Chains A and B, each alone.
Chain A
């Protein structure tokens, strides 16, 4: 390992921890929000479903960077709040990825046959119970590959947070580069780290899918 990397390792690791923290927080938040939105839209809840469809279409047509700008600059200005870059990042990522996860959840729900729904209701479960106990768990199991795709995207996207000044992995690496100027070794190190993390994450998804979908 080049000296530049080993000498700055503590600083880079600190950035990596921030990256992982943001990714984990937003994966959890995005999944919960996406699940709620997906179920609400698929059940055609009156009034809410229409609004949520607009939200999904808006987010899916907006670049992530613009989403971050909105959360960091526009929303605080609109509401007279102050947020740190990291809070804005987490909010932006959750709002962003939840729209995509909601679409995955909907496709998972659609894949559940109507016979299963009727069978669940026939056993005497209420609609909410059959949703919570039978349909949503089955749907989630089917969309594990799609979900992990989104998590990998999220992990890669965390690098964008450096643009609004969050010192995550990419941000701290570029800071190190600005000080010592060794772009080639630093960028190779950064790229390889992301590569390994993403490959690890997608293999976790594959294992989980094979284990649960059997």
Chain B
């Protein structure tokens, strides 16, 4: 039910919020600590998710049917379970392992995001023409060398934008680790909110910080992938 506040206007509410950024500035140490934890959490999960994704995605493009089915099962099983449940599985379900919350956050986040990376890796490998792989093998490279030196680099350039999407999603998803008591940015924000009651200011601040992180990752990946190959676009333009 919508209850009007004091000084009810004809819209049923009035804006009588006094902005005060002083408490936010005073608790900057906590915010920075949270930011550092978020960055560390995201980096660890990003690395682990990439490893899981490359392995599962390569299995999914294997010639063996069993490997393909296994990879598909892993992807569907992990992707269709909410991230929060992934974290609870490590933190509550496997509580007897006594893993520290940070590690539970990393594991939950990377298993969940790994499935998304795997789908992208599979699409990337499929987008590299088969002739490339055959030519690489014909020059005498081993299977692994052909994958690492010929197929993956070309695939990476193609999937860089989608990979950027998944990685920025991962950074934002890391906020859920606050639910299992990892003291990252969102956790610190709630704590500061509880102490200072500067609700709006603190959440706007961390929104800006998340936006900054996400933009940084997107930009880094764009630089890493190099200039986009404009051939298809030119073809379209001239058609």
Contact = CB atoms under 8 A, between A and B. Distances in A.
Given A64-B172, A183-B93, A198 B80 contact: yes
A62 B211 contact: yes
Interface stretch (A9-17, A25-33, A152-160): A152-160
Interface in B22-49: none
B195 to A, nearest CB: 13
A201 to B, nearest CB: 9
Nearest to B81: A191
Contact of A190 (B85, B203, B215): B85
B121 to A, nearest CB: 18
A81 B207 contact: no
Interface in A123-167: 152, 156-160, 162-163
A159 B82 CA distance: 7
A184 B172 contact: no
Interface in A36-86: 58, 61-66, 69-70, 73-74, 77-84
* A interface: dominant SS: helix
A204 interface: no
B184 to A, nearest CB: 10
Interface residues of B, number: 48
Contacts of B200: 70, 74, 77-78
20 contacts: A61-B215, A62-B207, A62-B211, A63-B172, A63-B176, A63-B186, A64-B175, A65-B176, A66-B206, A78-B199, A78-B200, A80-B17, A81-B2, A152-B80, A160-B84, A163-B178, A190-B85, A194-B82, A195-B80, A199-B76
Interface of B: 1-7, 13-17, 76-77, 80-85, 88-89, 92-93, 95, 168, 172-176, 178-179, 186, 189-190, 193, 197, 199-200, 203-204, 206-207, 210-211, 214-215
